Amino acid sequence: MNPTNALTNRDALFIAGEWNVSTDREWLEIENPATQEIIGRVPLAREVDVESAVAAAVRLDNSGQWRNTELSERAKALNSIADAIERRASDFEAMYTMDQGGTAAFASFTAATAAAIFRDTALLAEQLDLGPTRRDTLTGSVYVSREAVGPVAAIVPWNAPLVLAAVKIAPALIAGCPVIVKVSPETPLISFIFAEVLAEVGLPAGLISFLPGSRELGQFLISRPGIKNISFTGSTLAGKKVMATASERMTRVTLELGGKSAALVLDDAEPAEFAPMLAYGCTMQAGQVCTTQSRILVPAARREEWITALTSAFGELVVGDPADQNTGVGPLVSGTQRDRVERFVETALKDGATVLTGGRRPVGEMFERGYWYEPTLLTGTTPDMQINREEVFGPVITVEAYDDLAAGIATVNDTEFGLSNGIFTPDIDRALALAPQLESGAVAINSFGPNITAPFGGYKMSGVGREGGIEGIQEFLETKQVNLPQGI
């Protein structure tokens, strides 16, 4: 078997730290979204696998083996995981391109970021106060301690299967919690490499499981009595269902959900300098990112300059083979996703929008197979149109003008979402002064998305809780008070 076949054809699932082989499973064929070629197959988890993984996690948690391990030892394990990720970087990058259609130019970011998440979380262990810490108050004295919440169900989306798994696993492990990862069937291959990495490190049995499967399998997982925390990344609609299920047992949740973020371009930003940056950043990973700045707002006094510059910049983006380092925009992950994007554009045009560039499937022999859609820039939209209200999750961006800064800020905030807006200006101090006025959990200055090793999450319908940083670790900890007798 050649190396590619070894990475794309799997016959076992990683459950409770062991590879479990079974012939009594359904199998999922893996399709390369750039070519529609079947490149392999993997087994899908069943409810019995969920039960096995949860039972093992509960046993480990009850034993205290991991949660009572010294923080310094847990930190060493995280650093070992980071080392192992770096050793397998080329495999992670290959699967990002083949399984997801992500570009080779961006692939190195995924493995490097995942390793950085584990290293950064290990460093944070030095700042983590688990107690018991005495506090003297006006009404008496207490000891405060923080304890691992227990087994965690981590639901990871298809668009960032390595990085977002790392964001959930690393803080849970440092907090002392076992983790069961529900893997999206759209892009499952990276999870098998990740499991090999964790097996290599040598962690306690029951600490980690990876279960590829449907949304229904994920729903079954989060409903198990042994699950004490749910960490979910996905759409707002799905997040509501997760929260409803969690409410039945008052299970703790962290929800990182959808967005409809904006890029607020200030009047001192030069189109020639900033338009290429915006075109690249807004179409990163073909727009299949929850923090995509899918609305570009430019000052009305310079509207025509910006329309010309952005149209040119979007038109120069290279659409093509994701394995080619020169490609800027690869395919969408699936035919379903492309159909969704096309429906959004069709509706926008019916509502009165105008296509500046893109708005169709690319033409050419290499695009006859695969799930391609051109980077698309629309104008003539209004804030109430569907294209500006809902998350497209594709390379479709609107550009509109604002009359004054107050109106621009109001338009940025005129959405039920609040994930990660951007401000573009050469004056960083000015951007810092404006950032508090934008209603989002992250604000990027002349860049895109949050720093994933610092606390991030959403306002409004974009989520509950925070991932990253000390705050991300605290999501997996319960706080306990021990009240002392008076006078002690």
**Using an 8 Å Cβ cutoff, are 125 and 146 in contact?**
no
Q: At what angle do helices 89-100 and 104-124 cross, to 10 degrees?
A: 130
Note the pTM of the prediction, 2 decimals: 0.95
Q: What is the pLDDT of residues 17-70, one digit of tens each?
A: 999 998 788 999 999 999 999 999 999 999 999 999 999 999 999 999 999 999
- The confidence score (pLDDT) of residue 23 equals 78
Which domains occur in the chain, in start order? 3-257+462-481 (3.40.605.10), 261-452 (3.40.309.10)
- The confidence score (pLDDT) of residue 1 equals 35
Closest CA to 98 of 29, 44, 33, 42: 33
- The confidence score (pLDDT) of residue 4 equals 57
- The confidence score (pLDDT) of residue 354 equals 98
Spatial separation of the C-alpha atoms in residues 28 and 318, rounded to whole Å: 31
Host H or E run for residue 428: helix 428-434
Q: Which of 290, 374, 391, 400 is catalytic?
A: 290
Q: How many other β-carbons are positioned within 10 Å of the β-carbon of residue 30?
A: 22
Residue 290 known to be catalytic: yes
Residue 282 known to be catalytic: no
Q: Which of 256, 391, 400, 467 is catalytic?
A: 256
In a structure prediction context, what are the per-residue pLDDT tens digits for the chain, which is 488 residues long?
344 578 999 999 999 999 999 878 899 999 999 999 999 999 999 999 999 999 999 999 999 999 999 999 999 999 999 999 999 999 999 999 999 999 999 999 999 999 999 999 999 999 999 999 999 999 999 999 999 999 999 999 999 999 999 999 999 999 999 999 999 999 999 999 999 999 999 999 999 999 999 999 999 999 999 999 999 999 999 999 999 999 999 999 999 999 999 999 999 999 999 999 999 999 999 999 999 999 999 999 999 999 999 999 999 999 999 999 999 999 999 999 999 999 999 999 999 999 999 999 999 999 999 999 999 999 999 999 999 999 999 999 999 999 999 999 999 999 999 999 999 999 999 999 999 999 999 999 999 999 999 999 999 999 999 999 999 999 999 999 999 998 88
- The confidence score (pLDDT) of residue 223 equals 97
